[in-house]
Every structure is written in structure tokens, then in C-alpha cells.
Amino acid sequence: MKVKDAFVFFCGEGFVKRDIYIENGIFVGSGFDEDVIDAEDLYMLPGLIDTHLHGCAGADFCDGIQEALRTMAEYQAENGITTILPAAMTLDDKTLARAFSVAAEYVGTGADIYGINMEGPYLSYAKRGAQSGKFLRLPEMEHFNEMQRAARGKIKLVSVAPELNGAIEFIEQCGVRVSIAHTEADYETTVKAFGAGAKNVTHLFNAMPPFLHRAPGVIGAAADCEDITVELICD
């Protein structure tokens, strides 16, 4: 297959007008032209990855049913997102375990469910935002391992407020990517969390102290430390 005259995205170059050849579902350098798609004035880019998705199209991940996951995955695929990490809210253990188990068993159409984003419950009460304060708790490996067993190892990202008791040790031990989130942490505590292995910040500027010249907080620490990925709520 040949995709003709598309504006194709290349890292470091942006969008470049060129032809693309696909053979057996794989991009190749050249090919036959019998099957041609005219992409004049259209843009072609790699499938997007959504790592923080609670729900869409009337479905919610924490509904804990296959139909909800299928609705989410198919809607995302229709909008150019090929891989997702559906995100949990801070809820009771039974609800979370059910949602995680359903995600682990999911086989369906649409975007690929690479893993689970466990946003709660290891968060600050003062910065809980839309998270339920009733189910917040300190980060503990025993609890996380219980949730990971329900998820059959599919939890790939977990959020932590690093100022909580035991949080630094949890970050060092949990074995998955950690995101700083819903937190009152200061600059020094956040730097310590990054040193322990945290690599993400959930919705930068939201549910955390503001950036101040004498108290740069999480925002300043994320800017100063290397290899940190941050989310932004862009609306």
C-alpha cells in the first residue's frame, strides 16, 4: 500500500510531505503502487498514547465491566489513540480490585490496553481534589501488592504524595513507574522522591502547591531534575 502526499510527522523535523509505503502492516522504504491512498493535505503521525484516562463516551474504567472498557478503547482508537492506560479513582478496595481484574482479562477491539494507571489512594487529603477522602490511605507495599495481584501485574503507573509516611520507601520498592500527584510536598521532598525513583508528575500545577520564588515546590523540582515526565491539563 502507498499513502501518497501526506504530511508525515518525523521527530526533529516536524511534518514533511512525502509518500509512505506499508507492507503487511509494517512501514517499508518502498513498495508497489497498486493500492494507493491519496492523502493530499492530510496529516499522518504515530498513534497517540493516553496514560491518564478515567473514562469517555459515557463509560468509566471503575465501572468494572468489559463493556465500559470496550467503549473506551473503541472511542480512543477512533480518535487516533492506539494505546491507553485507563486510570482508577480513589475508591474502596473491592471496587478497585474488580476494575483491575476486568482490565487484566480484557480482550477486545479498539486501542490496546497496555496497563493500568492507579491514581489513588496514596494521596494527600488536603490536595485530594475530586478523589474521595474516605478511601485515602498511606502507601504500603502489602496493599499495593494486593491490588497488583488483582490486576495480574497490569498496574504500570501508580500515583503517590511523597510527603506521606512511608512514601519514599514505597517509591523505592513498588517496582512500577511512580507519579507525584495530589500532594503538599515541598521542593526538597519532591527531589528526594525523584531520587528514590519517581519519574512522573500528574497534572502539573493542579493539586499541588503553586510555584513561588522562595518555595518552588513540585513544579520547580520537576524543572530541575532530569528525565521527569509531566502531565498538563491543556484545556
Backbone phi and psi for residue 195, each to the nearest 5 degrees, phi listed first:
-65, -30
Output the pLDDT for position 28. 85
What separation in angstroms does the CA of 96 have from each of 14, 143, 151, 164? 41, 12, 9, 21
Q: Going by DSSP bridges, is the β-strand pair 59-60/36-38 parallel, antiparallel, or unpaired?
A: unpaired
Record the cell numbers describing residue 13, joined without a space.
Answer: 523535523
Prediction pTM value: 0.89
At residue 212, what is the residue type?
A: L
Tell me the mean pLDDT per 10 residues along the chain, length 235: 89 88 83 81 90 96 96 96 97 97 93 96 97 97 98 98 98 98 98 98 97 97 97 90
Residue 232, all three cell numbers: 498538563
Q: List, in order, residues 6 or more apart from 233 with CB less than 8 Å away.
A: 203, 206
Q: What is the pLDDT of residue 32?
A: 66
First vs last Cα of the chain: how many Å apart? 37
Report the candidate in 166, 221, 215 with the shortest Cα–Cα distance to residue 199: 221
Give the pLDDT of residue 51.
96
pLDDT of residue 151: 98
Identify the pLDDT of residue 15.
93
Check residue 33 and give its pLDDT: 66
